[in-house]
Structure 1
């Protein structure tokens, strides 16, 4: 290969690397360390996994007792609209017969949710608290968070899963499932990789622009360097 060809190839490679740096994506796999003396295992999360957990945590700040009760009531009333009239009877001091409309397991939940809404206020202010995804830990006692509804509740569960509370809970369940897998690995005293749910990174416009500019500069350098290689360029009209 001639010196001229080698230099052109070098410029082309640099341009490719500059553009490729924009599209590069990190690997998504959490590493569960071997069990420590305290029985706890450290979990090193991948960047995309950290983003998912941080996103869930930020969203959960808007879900308090009021919102959880509100969304549970909304889900039940969507599937069993007749309970609205029964609830109005209860508000008037009349006898409400929720049991004739709702499955046994939902009667108490509906009543408790109505009570909670009356006694609580909507969540207005969010805390600035952050979650430490750099120090994630699991141990044999790690358990899944309980939710007000489960898949056994059928259509009501599906309706609730579409509410703000349900969506936040669904994200938490994904994290809990991954934690449970990591905890199982921890119990065995093994070092292993466990997949946690991931979230895409926000578009970083400055980084993208910087990468494109870098590539254009490399290409421009190649363009103006061609005459030095004995390659004549056509005259460009202004």
Structure 2
């Protein structure tokens, strides 16, 4: 299992976690691309109905470069940060997520953070407004809460935590990726190749890099 634990921290330089304040859905932050603000508002507005049905809430969007989009969003009480890099979208085998949840551990308020890479099933968009389901991710956070350690990278612990839910997490995060691609098509339609299957795919469905529990009080 040690070969599954990789020192990949994709969002480290962007890390915001639970401390990012929520912003209006259409208040798109573009740095040097301010000239696109009015256009963005018009493009993203038609997604309001879809987003309300699929159970996600965009908290922030940033553009680290012309070829990167950072998305910070929530599904219920679980927050996600991921970076879509168009230079690697169709060649890199894994998509990297930072996932956060607030909780209670030993009667103390804590923040849970998971760094995970998920193998890309395919690059595609959604045609129906099926809600995002995160039951397996919830089970993962529940199991983490039962652990004694506040920093988990040991292979045997990760093996135990993932028993019976690894495939579910794989499916859930791949659906999230499809939702992201659908969202992106309203601005960068030409950059999303629907139903694209990568030439090479990783053998491991999900790779957990680390799990961290920090006191939030």
Fold conserved (TM > 0.5)? no
Q: Provide TM-score, normalisation by structure 2.
A: 0.24
Radius of gyration: which is bigger?
1
Structure with bigger helix share is 1
**Higher relative contact order, chain-length normalized (CA < 8 Å, sep 6+):** 1
Structure with bigger strand share is 2
Q: Provide TM-score, normalisation by structure 1.
A: 0.22
